[in-house]
Amino acid sequence: MNKPLRIALTKGRLEKDTVGLLEKLGYDCTAVREKGRKLILPVPDGNLEVVLAKANDVITYVEHGVCDMGVVGKDTIMEMQGTFFELVDLGFGRCRFALAAKKGSPFYGGYKVKTVATKYPTITRNYFESKGMDVDIVKIEGSVELAPLLELADGIVDIVETGTTLKENGLEVIEDIVPVSARLIVNTVSMKLRQAEIENLVALIEKNI
Ligand code: PRP
């Protein structure tokens, strides 16, 4: 048998959904479910090896070819870009990018250049460039909703899933930007060298989502 195909999963919720999907395909994911602090886990009956990583690192490992495939959100793909194939929309991890601001605040009012806080400066820059609008972008590492509350920013560009975080902090969506969901990505060389195995797995996944 070939060496296992290595698949990098984004730790957390996407990891759980992906393990659920692999089990639906009939693979025994006991080692992943009982992983403790281990980061590389076998899924022997699928001839897979699961690597658990942060979203940005999933892309780095797949781009460098040390992982053949990865599961990562479209948000991270749009922000990091990079060279790999994006093969399947897995349908889970659904949310959206939105521009939000304090409830009732006229984000588009006035002549002053607006300040926008975000964990995703590339997506934010592209979005406002496409509108021909000049904004100052401030990079924040987490809980971006704080920035308008602390009056560091006029608005935020962030992921909205249920909308609860915005609501509980007195913010509201001004505009939806783009929908987001988990994607299966594949290293370009792996796609050539292990085409049959990858295509079989993709076909199985497509049948089960
Ligand atoms: C994400 C996002 C929002 C929140 C949206 O944050 O940045 O803060 O989830 O979810 P909701 O619409 O269901 O309330 P995450 O939980 O990843 O934490 P972080 O902001 O600290 O990175």
CATH class of this structure's domain 5-93+181-208: alpha beta
Ligand 1 atom with minimal separation from the 165 CA = 14
Residue of 76, 119, 159 to test ligand 1 pocket, by largest number of atoms within 8 Å of CB: 159
Q: CA dist 98 to 14, 37, 120, 161, 165, Å?
A: 20, 34, 11, 10, 13
Give the model's pLDDT for residue 60: 98
Measured over the CA atoms of residue 106, residue 112, residue 114 and residue 115, the dihedral's sign is: negative
Q: Where are the domains of the chain?
A: 5-93+181-208, 95-179
**How would residue 2 be classed by pLDDT, with cut points 50, 70 and 90?**
confident
pLDDT in tens, 13-47: 999 999 999 999 999 999 999 999 999 999 999 89
165 lines ligand 1 (CB under 6 A): yes
What is the length of the chain? 209
pLDDT in tens, 107-163: 999 999 999 999 999 999 999 999 999 999 999 999 999 999 999 999 999 999 999
Nearby residues of 118 by Cβ (< 8 Å), 6 or more positions away: 124, 137, 138, 139, 140, 144, 156, 157, 158
State phi, psi for 18 to the nearest 5 degrees: -70, -40
146 lines ligand 1 (CB under 6 A): no
CATH class of this structure's domain 95-179: alpha beta
What distance in angstroms lies between residue 138's CA and the mean position of ligand 1's atoms?
17
User: Quick one: which H or E segment has residue 204?
Assistant: helix 195-208
Q: What is the pTM of this model?
A: 0.94
Ligand 1 atom with minimal separation from the 145 CA = 8
158 lines ligand 1 (CB under 6 A): yes
pLDDT above 90: residue 1: no
What distance in angstroms lies between residue 189's CA and the mean position of ligand 1's atoms?
34
- Same CATH topology for 5-93+181-208 and 95-179: the answer is yes
Q: Would strands 135-139 and 114-118 be described as parallel, antiparallel, or unpaired? A: parallel
Give the model's pLDDT for residue 151: 97
